[in-house]
Amino acid sequence: MSGYGSLLRSLSKSTDKPVRAIVKGEIPKWVNGSLYRNGPGRFEFGNNRYEHLFDGQACVHKFTVQNGEVFYSNKLLETKSYQKTIENNKLFPNFGTTDKGSNIYKRFKNFFFPPETSDNVNVNILPYAQDHLYALTETHLMCKLDPKNLSINHTVNIKEHVGSIKSTIAHPHIERDGTWITMGVNPRGENGGAHYEFVRFKGGDSGRKSKHICEQAQVIASIPSSNKNGFSYFHSFAVTENYIVFLEQCLQIDFKSLIESLIKNKPRSSALISYKDMPTRIHLINKHNGNILKKKFVTDPQFTFHYINAYEKDDQILLDLSSYDSKYFNVENFSYENMKSGKLMETNMLKALARRVRIPLTKPENEKGEVYCEIKDINSDLPFELPVINYWKNNGLFYKYVYGTNHYKNPFSIIKMNVEDPREVYEFKYGQDGFHALPSEPIFVETHHPKSEDDGVLLVMVLCEKNDYLSVLDAKNLNEIARADIPEEVRGAFTFHGFFADQKNFQNIV
Ligand SMILES: [Fe+2]
């Protein structure tokens, strides 16, 4: 088996009541809290099936770890999208799936006035102001969840609260007091062109007491798109101590293709055009006062879903990315069929590498009025996606270690790399016992009295032909120190992202 195969599951029911997992080995007693994960948990409804990996209905998974014991539950979120899909026995349009029964009038109406079924929040789940739990995607809607039963408490429409922003993302940055810095787009901003909008949702006491996250919104900055005929796709961005770092890159949402997709009833993904030779434009924004640096920083064409980290060093910013070659990148490569069959595994189509961009802040512009920033592979032999760092300690600061997932080559594995000395690599391969297995993004959990940046464990949700399990790896050497086996009759599903709510800092959402 080269692809996800039968592990790309479509669940038909939730496991609401936590089930006990059987622990083999020993989970350290200081690992106390809940691992939350989110992803597309249901692809099939009767004879209909979503056509892209990004389209399945949101399913949130929860592993509660306490005193070495583990309990697992999951919930197919009862979004409007999910409820109406079941009620109407048809799929509503999503990223890579069209509504086959729709007419042109309805498609244009839904484009200009996105419907309530845009709430399939299947990409990430994160804490806000320590006490609130949000499931996220890349539309104008976010869902606040009840941490006890994972039901939806409140659906927040960012358009109703933050003037110019028409959509948001699933990868905000979170500060120590629970403040979020996030971004969205206004496709028709000032002068009719698209603008990238950056916003802060203040955390702390006021955030904790707020009914929903948008009550605390403060717009930071607005950047006009460099492309008059569209705007760059963005999935995440980076922050340093003083800056927001944002890339306009080769994958562009092209207005003409967008209109064509509405007329011809093609999926929204078809409007994302990869311009192989388009240089990457780097924007720097002072995150304290919103000032945008006027200098035009550029680097080579590439595409990034996930920024690894960035930090300031002397007169440079070092920016690390999980970066795809623009020559081969196409978002439609990540179709349901391709991921299930593994057709594109071990090809450049799915190969992201860790790359470092050096942004020289004081270097003068060249004759083209640009400052070129060098981009180099950190390690050209190591496919690197779903990157994770010791976030609460090192985000925006100097760091050495990044952990990631290899879904590029079988057997699938978790990898660790020292970005300062990229020859230092560790790998833990799954499926060595003969059962095909699919590890998730690894979540780093630090010990209470760490002696080094990597003093902790990685929690990995593993889908397996036999039984699914939580795998606990020593973050120093990636040795597996424990597994918590979920009973075979209970199934998990594919997940993109999540976080660990430790008992100490997130006591109300554990
Ligand atoms: Fe992501």
**pLDDT of the residue at 111:** 76
From the list 230, 201, 360, 231, the residue with the least C-alpha distance to 284 is 360
Q: What is the CATH number of the domain that holds 253?
A: 2.130.10
pLDDT of residue 274: 92
Rounded Cα distance between 170 and 100, Å, is 27
470 in Cβ contact with 64 (< 8 Å): no
Give residue 306 CA to ligand 1 midpoint distance, Å: 6
Q: What is the pLDDT of residues 266-291, one digit of tens each?
A: 888 888 999 999 999 999 999 999 99
Partners of residue 95 on adjacent β-strands: none
pLDDT of residue 1: 63
Binding residues for Fe cation: 171, 235, 306, 497
Residue 468 domain flag: yes
**362 Cα–ligand 1 center, Å:** 32
In a domain, 206, yes or no: yes
Lowest mean pLDDT among 133-137, 224-228, 240-244, 301-305: 224-228
* Distance from residue 170's CA to the centre of ligand 1 (Å): 7
Contact call for residues 163 and 218 (beta carbons, < 8 A):
no
CA atoms within 13 A on the CB side of 236: 26
* CA 317 / ligand 1 centre spacing (Å): 23
Higher per-residue confidence, 93 vs 129: 129
What is the Å distance from ligand 1's center to 122 Cα? 10
For residue 508, tell me if it sits in a domain: no
CA 222 to ligand 1 centroid distance, Å: 23
Per DSSP, the three-state class of 144 is strand
Dist. CA 305 → ligand 1 center (Å): 6
Distance 324 CA to ligand 1 centre (A): 14
In a domain? residue 59 = yes
**Local confidence band at 264 (pLDDT 50, 70, 90 cut-offs):** confident
- Ligand 1 centroid vs 49 CA: distance in angstroms? 22
- Domain residues for the domain of 87 are 5-502
Task: Quote the crossing angle between the two packed helices 255-264 and 104-112, to the nearest 10°.
Answer: 140
- Average pLDDT over the chain reads 95
Q: Is 396 left (phi over 0), alpha (psi -120 to 50) or beta?
A: left
Distance (Å) from CA 405 to ligand 1 centroid: 12
- 265 pLDDT tier (thresholds 50, 70, 90): confident
What is the CA(307)–ligand 1 centre distance, in A?
9
In sign, the C-alpha dihedral spanning 161, 162, 163, 164 is: negative
Tally Cβ neighbours within 10 Å of residue 362: 9
Contact 408, 345 (CB under 8 A): yes
Q: Is the pTM of this model over 0.85?
A: yes
Give the C-alpha separation, 197 to 134, whole Å. 20
Q: Which residues contact 2 (CB under 8 A, 6 or more apart)?
A: 341, 342, 345, 346, 410
Do residues 133 and 144 make contact, with C-beta atoms less than 8 angstroms apart?
Answer: yes
How much distance in Å is there from the Cα of 98 to the middle of ligand 1? 22
pLDDT tens track for 63-118: 999 999 999 999 999 999 999 999 988 888 778 777 777 778 777 777 777 878 89
The per-residue pLDDT for 28 is 97
Output the known binding site: 171, 235, 306, 497
Contact (Cβ atoms closer than 8 angstroms) between residue 267 and residue 96: yes
- The answer to whether position 509 is within a domain reads no
Query: pLDDT tens digit string along 340-373?
Result: 999 999 999 999 999 999 999 999 999 999 999 9
| CA 444 to centroid of ligand 1, rounded, Å | 16
Number of compact structural domains in the chain = 1
Which of the two residues, 403 and 258, has the higher pLDDT score?
Answer: 403
pLDDT (tens digit, 9 = 90+) per residue, 431-481? 988 999 999 999 999 999 999 999 999 999 999 999 999 999 999 999 999
The 3-state DSSP class for residue 371 equals strand
Amino acid at 272: L
8 A C-beta contact, residue 233 and residue 272:
yes
Show the CA angle centred on residue 303, arms to residues 300 and 307, nearest 5°.
Answer: 105
Residue 326 near residue 274, CB atoms below 8 Å: yes
